[in-house]
C-alpha cells in the first residue's frame, strides 16, 4: 500500500480500531469518561491521525536519541504521549477524561497493543506474504 490510498486505508483502519478501543475501555473502566458518546469517532480520528503522522515522525527521532536502547518500549512511550495530547485537545470540552496515572498507563498499553496489531496486519504481513 503506497501513496495517498495506502495512507487513507491505514488511517481508516486505525480510526475503526482506536474508536473501538476508546469505546470499550470507557464502557469497562469508570475512570475513562467519554462524556458525549457521539464524540468517540472524533476522538478516535484525532488519535488515529496523530498515531499515523506523529508516530511515524517521532519513533526514529526517539530511537536515535536513546541509541535504540529503548526500541522495545518506544511504541508504548510514543502512544502514551499521543494519548496525553489527545486528552489535552479535548480537555476544554471534557469529551475525554482519564482519571489517574494508572488508568492512563493502562489505556496507553491497550492502545499500544492495538497499534501493534494494526502494524502487523497493515505493514508487516503485506510485505511478507
pLDDT digits (tens, 9 = 90+) for 7-29: 888 888 999 999 999 999 999 99
Distance CA 80, CA 37 (A): 22
Q: Which of 122, 119, 55 is nearest to 86 (CA)?
A: 55
Q: Is 36 left (phi over 0), alpha (psi -120 to 50) or beta?
A: beta
**Assigned C-alpha cell, 60:** 526514529
What is the pTM (predicted TM-score) of this model? Answer: 0.86
Residue 32 CB burial class (10 angstroms; 0-12, 13-18, ≥19): buried
Helix axes 74-89, 40-65, angle to 10 degrees: 140
Which 3-state string (H, E, C) describes 18-73?
A: HHHHHHHHHHHCCCEEECCHHHHHHHHHHHHHHHHHHHHHHHHHHHHHCCCCCCCC
Domain ranges of the chain: 3-120
pLDDT digits (tens, 9 = 90+) for 71-124: 667 788 888 999 999 999 999 989 999 999 999 999 999 999 999 899 899 888
Query: Dihedrals φ, ψ of 117, to 5°?
Result: -65, -40
Q: Which of 79, 61, 101 is nearest to 22 (CA)?
A: 79
Amino acid at each position: 500500500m503506497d501513496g495517498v490510498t495506502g495512507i487513507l486505508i491505514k488511517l481508516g483502519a486505525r480510526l475503526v480500531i482506536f474508536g473501538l478501543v476508546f469505546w470499550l475501555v470507557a464502557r469497562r473502566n469508570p475512570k475513562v469518561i467519554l462524556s458525549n458518546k457521539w464524540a468517540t469517532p472524533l476522538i478516535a480520528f484525532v488519535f488515529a491521525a496523530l498515531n499515523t503522522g506523529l508516530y511515524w515522525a517521532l519513533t526514529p527521532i526517539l530511537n536515535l536519541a536513546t541509541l535504540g536502547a529503548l526500541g522495545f518500549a518506544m511504541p508504548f512511550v510514543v502512544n502514551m504521549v499521543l494519548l496525553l495530547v489527545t486528552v489535552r485537545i479535548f480537555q476544554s470540552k471534557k469529551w475525554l477524561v482519564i482519571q489517574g496515572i494508572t488508568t492512563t498507563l493502562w489505556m496507553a498499553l491497550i492502545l499500544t497493543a492495538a497499534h501493534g496489531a494494526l502494524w502487523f496486519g497493515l505493514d508487516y504481513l503485506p510485505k511478507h506474504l
